[in-house]
Structure 1
Amino acid sequence: MKLEAIPRLSLGYLPTPIEKMERLSAELGITLSVKRDDFTGFGGGGNKVRKLEYLMADAVAQGVKVLITTGGHQSNHARMTAAAARKYGMKPILVLRGNRPDLYQGNLLLDHLFGAEIDFLDPDAYFTEINPRMAHHAAEAEARDEKAYIIPLGGASALGAMGYVNAVKELSEQYAAAGTPAPRYLVAPVGSGGTLAGLHIGCSLYWPETEVVGIAVTGSAVPFSERIAVMANAGAELLDLEKRWTADDIRIENDYIGPGYSIPSDAGNAAIKLAGNREGMLLDPVYTGKAFAGIIGCVEKGSIEKGSSVLFIHCGGSPALFPYAGLLTSDLAG
């Protein structure tokens, strides 16, 4: 099946712009550009809108009434899924990792404003309870004769990955229109793997000489390289492509996770301040700050060569800045 034949709803404000980062380029010694997918607009913006365009088309076609997904407290995916559910007349249920907070901030506040039902899971029990808990909510909906639809963590599925196959197509058209050669490296955060799977498929079709680099922002029981290869292969099958990937084909940088998922890192916080000070660009402590720290680190150790062209996928996440205000302003103390 061709990409254009897969049902898709229009949710994002696309195409998003590509911004050249002249001051950061000079400082890092690379030619750096950013794909501003924080500007996708819908539901507060971010990369998950691209996946939801395909996943929501499937849900709407099935007559879904209850949309269920999962993520962390500051999940961009959960926030945008809640917004998409409301746009199409569905009830959103979010099963989130973390105990109920005293104060709803950042994405949690937006989840509440979208009217999502939020089910908080103890962090230690999350990975064993998450699938049964989502299945429980689906069963309750079906018992009320309301069709339910479960979207996996991060929208990470072969269908969701089509959003970033389409993004690479969009990028290739933008670069061609500008007369600019494809970048040497295409870099993105990795939290669930769907974005990177789509980028691999897309680059195989439109930018075969570009290397995809994933910067992990969380750990994974199954190595990301294995998970993403499986997802990319399923996406390739969906598109009737012969191309297949193994774990060895998937480059993941694992040195920038910090203390853990949704726990800010010193390097990530420094990257947030650097991007803000040099380019007026907002990154966040959960995803993009750590990923940008990964670019800096890779340049420093030479695995992204000085002088190379690098395109960073800005996945959004600025609402997640606000819950960490105390940490990010600790330099003001005293």
Structure 2
Amino acid sequence: MKLEDIPRLSLGFLPTPIEKLERLSSELGISLSVKRDDFTGFGGGGNKVRKLEYLMADAVSQGVKVLITTGGHQSNHARMTAAAARKYGMKPILVLRGNRPELYQGNLLLDHLFGAEIDFLDPDAYFTEINPRMQHHADAAQARGEKAYIIPLGGASALGAMGYVNAVKELAEQYAASGLPTPDHIVAPVGSGGTLAGLHVGCAMYMPSTEVVGIAVTGSAVPFSERIAVMANAAAELLGYDRRWSAEEIRIENDYIGPGYSIPSEAGNAAIKLAGKSEGVLLDPVYTGKAFAGIIGCVENGSIKKDANVLFIHCGGSPALYPYADQLTSDLPPDTAS
């Protein structure tokens, strides 16, 4: 099946621009650009819109009334899934990792404004209870006569990966139109793996000289390289494309997670401030800040060579900045008022 034959709804404001980061290029000694997928627009923007274009086409075709997914407190995916559900007349149910907060901020506030039903799961029980809990909500919907549809964590599936196969096709067209060479490396955060799986398939099809580099922002019980290889292979099979990947071919940098998922890291916070002060670009502590710290670290350790042409996929997430204001303003001088 060709990519254009797979049903897709138009949700994002596409194509998103490619922006050259001149000051950071000079500072890091590489040619650094950013694919502004924080500008996809719908539901507050971010990379998950591309996956939802395919996943929602499937849900709408089935007459779904209840859309169920999962993520962390500050999940961009959960926020955009809730918005997409409302756009197509569905009820969103979000099963989120974390206890009910006293104050809804960032993406949680937006989830509430989209009218999502939020089911909070204790963090320690999340990974054993998440699938049964989502199935419980699906069964309850079915018992009411409402068709339910479960979208996996991060939209990470072969169908969701089509969003980033299509994104690479879009990139290849942009580079061809500009007359500029395609990048040596595409770098993106890795939280659930669907974006990277799509990037691998897309680059093999449309930009074969470009290496895909994933910066892990969370740990994984099954190594990301294994999970992504399986997903990329399933996506390639869906497309009738004969390339297959082994785990050894999936490059994942695991040194930039920090204390854990959704817990800010020192390097990530420094990267957020550097991007803001150098280029006026907003990153976040959960995903893009850590991924950008990974680019800096890879340049410093030589695994991304000086003068390399690097494209950073900005996956969005600026709503997740605000709940971390205390950590991000810890460098302010103390109040000396008496």
Q: TM-score, normalised by structure 2?
A: 0.99
| Partner Cα distance (2:11, 2:181) in 1 | 29
What amino acid maps onto 1:5 in structure 2? D
C-alpha distance in 2, partners of 1:115/1:312?
A: 33
Which position in structure 2 is the counterpart of 1:94? 94
Gaps spanning 5+ residues in structure 1: where? none
The number of aligned residues is: 334
Which residue number in structure 1 is paired with residue 143 of structure 2? 143
Superposition misfits of 4+ residues, deviation over 2 angstroms:
none
Give the whole-Å Cα distance in 2 for the aligned partners of 1:163 and 1:15: 12
Residue 233 in 1 paired to residue 247 in 2?
no
CA offset at residue 266 of structure 1?
0.1
**AA paired with 1:16?**
T
Residue number in structure 2 paired with 1:43: 43
Mapping of residues 120-135 of structure 1, within 5 Å? 120-135=120-135
Amino acid at match of 2:149: Y
Distance in 2, matches of 1:47 and 1:314, equals: 8
What are the residue-to-residue correspondences of 1:43-192 with 2, within 5 Å? 43-192=43-192
Q: Which residue of 1 aligns with 2:298?
A: 298
**1:287 Cα deviation after fit:** 0.1
Query: Which whole-Å CA distance do the structure 2 matches of 1:253 and 1:330 have between them?
Result: 28
AA matched with 2:324: Y
Distance 1:327 1:21 in 2: 26
Q: Distance in 1 between matches of 2:256 and 2:326?
A: 22
SS at match of 2:331: helix
Number of the residue aligned with 1:252: 252
Q: Deviations over 1:78-130 (max 9, x none)?
A: 00000000000000000000000000000000000000000000000000000
Q: Structure 2 CA distance, aligned partners of 1:333 and 1:315?
A: 32
* Alignment partners' CA distance in 2, 1:222 and 1:15: 33
SS of the equivalent of 1:219 reads: coil
In the TM superposition, what is the alpha-carbon distance from 1:53 to its structure 2 partner?
A: 0.1
Partners of 1:189 and 1:44 lie apart in 2 by 18
Give the residue type in structure 2 aligned to 1:90: M
SS at match of 1:332: coil
TM-score (norm 1): 1.00
CA deviation digits over 1:41-74, x for unaligned, max 9?
A: 0000000000000000000000000000000000
Q: What is the one-letter code of the residue matched to 2:303?
A: S
SS at match of 1:118: strand
Separation in structure 2 between the aligned mates of residue 241 and residue 53 of structure 1, nearest angstrom: 21
Mapping for residues 244-283 of structure 1, pairs under 5 Å: 244-283=244-283
The Cα shift of 1:244 comes to 0.1
Q: CA deviation at 1:218?
A: 0.1
TM superposition shift of 1:10: 0.1
* Deviations, residues 237-296 of structure 1 (Å, cap 9, x unaligned): 000011000000100000000000000000000000000000000000000000000000
Residue 19 of structure 1 corresponds to 19
3-state DSSP of counterpart to 1:95: strand
Q: Could you tell me how far 1:333 is from its partner in structure 2?
A: 3.9
Partner of 1:34: 34
Residue type of the alignment partner of 1:208: P
Q: What one-letter code is carried by the residue in structure 2 that aligns with 1:130?
A: I
Partner residue, 1:207: 207
Match of 2:331 in 1: 331
Letter in structure 2 aligned against 1:101: P
